[in-house]
Structure 1
Amino acid sequence: MTATRRATSMTLDAALLDEARALGINLSRAAEEGILAQVRAERARRWKEDNAADIAAYNRWIEENGVPLARYRKF
């Protein structure tokens, strides 16, 4: 399965761009990987933010009631 690709224009630090080219780095692939990492990080941050109240409530429940099925734990 091949993703649809779209051309775009970016402004980058000139020295960094020159060094990347000199090192033979595929600029499109490097940019895509960097953007993908940022997208994943932002999704995770937003998920944590959106679910913070539920996570806090669950943690309070565990503090008050203990871990479910704790009596069956072997550790």
Structure 2
Amino acid sequence: MQASEATKSRRKPTNLSLDSDLLREAKVLGINVSRSAEAGIAEAVKLHKQNKWLQDNAAALASSNAYIEANGLPLARHRQF
């Protein structure tokens, strides 16, 4: 889910423990801490999903790469670049 999609979804109040100096500095700078935390969590979820997909599909990717190394790209003779 992208951050823009997350902002359209229902919001739930949540308690977080944050570094007090960082929180104070963010407030001085006018940073919306809730939105920033949400964006950071959304990015962490995205990276986790990407890594999980790569792990789940590692065998298929390795097999495909091995096939191409052994046999070349399928339809390579039709490539014009």
Residue 74 of structure 1, CA deviation: 1.4
Report the Cα distance in structure 1 between the residues aligned to 2:67 and 2:16, rounded to whole angstroms: 49
What is residue 68 of structure 2 aligned with on the other side? 62
Normalised to the residue count of structure 2, the TM-score between the two structures is 0.89
| Structure 2 residue runs without a partner (length 5+) | none
Poorly superposed stretches of 4+, deviation over 4 Å: none
Q: Comparing both chains, which one has the higher relative contact order based on Cα–Cα distances under 8 Å and sequence gaps of 6 or more?
A: 2
Normalised to the residue count of structure 1, the TM-score between the two structures is 0.96
2:31 to 25, 29, 33: 25
- Give percent identity, aligned residues only: 48
In the comparison of the two structures, how many residue pairs are matched? 75
| Structure 1 residue runs without a partner (length 5+) | none
SS in 1 for 2:9: coil
- The RMSD of aligned alpha carbons is 1.1
